[in-house]
Structure 1
C-alpha cells in the first residue's frame, strides 16, 4: 500500500510539473506574439540645424585679374658667327658662358694673315691705277699741245697758199708753187686730224684709268671689309651664352660661335584663350596696353616684375588655339630668358559685382541665401569671372543678403541653419617654425649650392633662414626640392 501511495504521489507531482511548464510556454508564446504585433514607438521628431559660414553680398567695382603662364625671352638675341674661316686667335677673357660684354668689344679674331695680304695687294693695285691716271693726264696735255701746234701749222700753210694764189693772180707766181702750197696745207690739215685722234685717245685713256682706279678702290674696300670680318665684336651690350670655342680652334665660315643676349630687354610670351583675349581688346578692337605682373616662384621667395602688354601674334600657329601675347618687362631683376613664370593681367573694371568664395556657387550658377527664420533659399547669380578661390558674380537683387560660403550636399532650400559670421575675424598670420641647428644648416647648404637661383633671391632666403622663426611655407618648399 505504501508503495502504491508513493507511486501515485510521484505521478501527480510529475503531471503538475508538466502542466506548469506547458502553461509557462503558452504565456511566453503569447507575449512574443503580442510584442511582434505591436508597432514600434517613434521618438518625438526634432529638426536638425546645420552651422554654416555666411558672407554678405556687397556690390562694388572689381578689377578682374587674368592669370596665365608664359616664358621669359629676350627681345634682342644675336647669333655670333664667323664671317671668315680660319684659326681663332686673341680670344677675349669675357668670351665665355655668362660673360658680360659691352657694345663693340672685341671678342675673338680669326687669323688675319691672308686677309691682310689681300689688302696689301689691293692697295698696290690702287697705286698702279693712280699712276696710270697721272700718266694719262700727262698724255692728254701733250696731245692737246700737239693739236695746237698742228693747228698753227695749218694756219701758216693756208696763209702761204693765199700768198701764192695772190702772186699767181698778179702773174708773178707760178701754178706749180700754188700746187705745192695747196699740198702743204692739205698735209697740215691731215696732221690736225691725227692730233685730234690722239687727243680723243688720251681722253679715253683717262676714262679707262679712272675706271681702273675705281675698280681697284672697290677691291681695296672689299679686302678691308674681309679683314674687318676677321674680328668678332659684340653688336650690343649683353651676356654671352652657348659659347663653344677655344683659342686656336679652326672655325669654318658662318659657323655659330655663341649667342649674345640682352638681359635688360626682356619680354614674356604667354598664350590665353580666345574669350580671354576678347576681354583685353579696346573699343576700337586693338589690344590694350594693360599692366602686367610677372611672378617666378623661387623656393618660397617670389621674384616679381611689372610690365606692359605690347603686342600679339600675327597668326595662330598650326595645331594651336587661342592667342599668343607679348608683354615687355620693366627692370626684370633676377629673371632670365627661359624662366617659366606666372603672368597676371588687369582687365577692365567691372561695376556692380560681388566677390564670393568659389564654394558658394554651384555648377548651375545658384547660391543658397539666408532667408526668414534662418532658412535657406535658392537664388541665381550671373558668374562673370573666376579669380582663384573666388568668383565675381552680378546679382543686384541680392544686395545686402547673406549667402552660404561653403555648400555641401546636406544643404538645400528650406533647411534651417545657424549662421556663422566672420566679418570681424582677424587675418591669420603665416605659420612660423623654429628650426634646429642641424635642419637650418641643411637648408643653408642646399640654397648656397643652388646655381640656378638668382643672387638676389638667394640672399633674401639666406637672410630669412638666419632668423629665429622661419615661415613654414618656405621651409616646406625648400625641403620638397631637396627630395625629403
Structure 2
C-alpha cells in the first residue's frame, strides 16, 4: 500500500509539472506572437548639441612681437698684449680674473734693463751725429772763406795779366812776361775751381750729417717707445678676463695675457629668418630702428633690458641663413658679455586685425562662425602672424562675429553648438528656443505622464506650468516623449 501510494503521488506530480510546462509554453508563444504582431515603436531623435568655447573677431590695432635668440657682446673689447718680451717685474693688484680697472691704471711692468741700455746707446750715437753735424758746418764755413780768398787772388792775377798785355802792346814789356802772367792767372783760376769742389764736399758732408742725425733721432724715438712699452696701462674702464700672467713670469713679444671688456657698453647680436627680416624694412627697403627687449631667465628671476636695432651684417656667412642683426642696449644691469638671451622685437603695428587662439584657425586658414541659431558655418580669414599660443588674423567681412575658439574633429558646418563665453567676457546671446503648439490629445497624454511620473514636485510643477501654455518649447516636448516611448 505504501509503495502504491508513493507511486500515485509521483505520477500526480509529474502530471502537474507537465501541465505547468505546457501552460508556460503557451504563454511564451502568445507573447512572442503578440510582439511580432505589433508595429515597431519609434522614438523621437534629439539633435546633438556640443558645448564649445568661443572668441570674437574684434578688429583692433596690434603690435606684433617677433621672438629670436641672441648673444650679448661688448662694443669695447680689447686683447691686451705685451709689445716687448721680458720678465714681469711688477703686476697690478687688479690684474686678476674679473678685476676692475680704470683708464690709465698701470697693469704690469716688464723688466726695463735691456730697453734702458738700448736707449743709452742710441743717445750716445745721437751725440756723435750731432758733433759730426757741427764739425761739417764749421768745415763749410772754412771752405767758403778759402773760396773767397782764391777768387780774390784770381782777380789779382787777372789784373796782372792785363797790365802785362798792355805793356807788351806799347813795346815796353816782353812776351815772356805776358806768358808768365797768363800762367799765373790760369793757376789762380784752377785754385778757385778746387775751392769750389771743397765747398761742395763740405755742403754734402752737412747733408750726410743731417741725415745721420735724423736717423739717430728716429732710433731715439724707437728706443724711448720700447722703454715705454715695458709698462702697460688700461686704455679704458672695464673688467679683465682670461688673465694668464703673474709676477716673475716671462712674456714674449705680442703675447696675449688678458682681455679687457667694458661691461657697460653691451649690444646683442641675433639672427632672424629672411621672412622676419622683411617685416623690419620700411618702404625704402631700409632696416627700421625697431625697439626690442632682451630677457635672461636666471633661477626664475627674469633680467630684462630695452634696446633698439642699429645695424645688420653686410653679408651672410658661409653655411648660415637669414640675417644677423645688432642692437644697442640702453641699460643692461646684471647682464654680461656672452649671455644667451631671448630677444623680443616690436614689429610695425597692424591695423584692423584680430587676436584669437591658434586653435581657432585651421591649416587652410578657415574659422568656424557661430550664426544666429547657434549653427556653425565656415569662414575664410588671412593668417598674418603667430604670437605664441595665439594668432593675428585679418577678419575681413567677418569682423565682430563670434567663432569657435577650440576646434575639434566633431565640429563642422551645420552643427548646432552651445557657446561658452570666456571668463570675464560678455556672454554670447543664445538663440530663442523653438516653440510648438500641441493638440488636446497630445497635451493630455503628456500631462498624464508628468503627473504619474516619479519626478520631484518642483520639477512637476514647472513642467505642468509649461504644458498649460499655448506654445511649449519643442525641446521639452521631445524630451518628455522620448521618456514615455510613444
Q: Same fold (TM over 0.5)?
A: yes
User: Would the aligned equivalents of 1:238 and 1:261 in 2 still touch at CA under 8 Å?
Assistant: yes
Stretch moving more, 104-113 or 133-142 = 104-113
How far apart, CA to CA, are the structure 2 residues paired with 1:230 and 1:42? 108
SS at match of 2:373: helix
Q: In structure 2, do the counterparts of structure 1 residues 181 and 406 end up closer, same or farther at CA, with 3 Å as the change threshold?
A: same
Q: CA offset at residue 7 of structure 1?
A: 7.5
Q: In structure 2, do the counterparts of structure 1 residues 5 and 51 end up closer, same or farther at CA, with 3 Å as the change threshold?
A: closer
In structure 2, the residue matched to 1:411 is 411
How far apart, CA to CA, are the structure 1 residues paired with 2:34 and 2:191? 162
How far apart, CA to CA, are the structure 1 residues paired with 2:129 and 2:39? 131
How far apart, CA to CA, are the structure 2 residues paired with 1:191 and 1:398? 117
Q: Deviations over 1:453-479 (max 9, x none)?
A: xxxxxxxxxxxxxxxxxxxxxxxxxxx
The alignment status of 1:20 with 2:57, answered yes or no, reads no
In structure 2, the residue matched to 1:129 is 129
Q: In structure 2, do the counterparts of structure 1 residues 249 and 161 end up closer, same or farther at CA, with 3 Å as the change threshold?
A: same
In structure 1, the residue matched to 2:185 is 185
How far apart, CA to CA, are the structure 2 residues paired with 1:111 and 1:4? 143
Q: CA offset at residue 234 of structure 1?
A: 2.3
Q: CA offset at residue 14 of structure 1?
A: 5.0
The alignment status of 1:269 with 2:269, answered yes or no, reads yes
Question: What is the TM-score when the length of structure 1 is the normalising length?
Answer: 0.81
Gap runs ≥5 in structure 2: 427-486
Q: CA offset at residue 353 of structure 1?
A: 0.6
The alignment status of 1:240 with 2:240, answered yes or no, reads yes
Q: CA offset at residue 25 of structure 1?
A: 6.3
SS at match of 1:96: coil
User: Would the aligned equivalents of 1:292 and 1:307 in 2 still touch at CA under 8 Å?
Assistant: yes
The alignment status of 1:311 with 2:311, answered yes or no, reads yes
The alignment status of 1:200 with 2:200, answered yes or no, reads yes
Question: What is the TM-score when the length of structure 2 is the normalising length?
Answer: 0.81
User: Would the aligned equivalents of 1:361 and 1:367 in 2 still touch at CA under 8 Å?
Assistant: yes
Q: In structure 2, do the counterparts of structure 1 residues 389 and 182 end up closer, same or farther at CA, with 3 Å as the change threshold?
A: same
Q: CA offset at residue 71 of structure 1?
A: 0.8
Q: CA offset at residue 108 of structure 1?
A: 1.2
SS at match of 1:129: helix
In structure 2, the residue matched to 1:49 is 49
User: Would the aligned equivalents of 1:66 and 1:345 in 2 still touch at CA under 8 Å?
Assistant: yes
In structure 2, the residue matched to 1:299 is 299
User: Would the aligned equivalents of 1:49 and 1:416 in 2 still touch at CA under 8 Å?
Assistant: yes
Structural mapping, 1:150-189, within 5 Å: 150-189=150-189
User: Would the aligned equivalents of 1:368 and 1:378 in 2 still touch at CA under 8 Å?
Assistant: yes
How far apart, CA to CA, are the structure 2 residues paired with 1:75 and 1:337? 10
Q: Whose radius of gyration is greater, 1 or 2?
A: 2
Q: In structure 2, do the counterparts of structure 1 residues 12 and 172 end up closer, same or farther at CA, with 3 Å as the change threshold?
A: closer
In structure 2, the residue matched to 1:148 is 148
SS at match of 1:109: strand
How far apart, CA to CA, are the structure 2 residues paired with 1:373 and 1:168? 153
Q: In structure 2, do the counterparts of structure 1 residues 316 and 4 end up closer, same or farther at CA, with 3 Å as the change threshold?
A: closer
Size of the aligned set, in residue pairs, is: 425
SS at match of 1:373: coil
In structure 2, the residue matched to 1:402 is 402
SS at match of 1:148: helix
How far apart, CA to CA, are the structure 2 residues paired with 1:90 and 1:325? 43
Q: Deviations over 1:292-345 (max 9, x none)?
A: 211112233322111111122222222222221111111222211111111111
Q: Deviations over 1:59-79 (max 9, x none)?
A: 122111111111111122111
In structure 2, the residue matched to 1:119 is 119
Gap runs ≥5 in structure 1: 427-484
SS at match of 1:411: coil
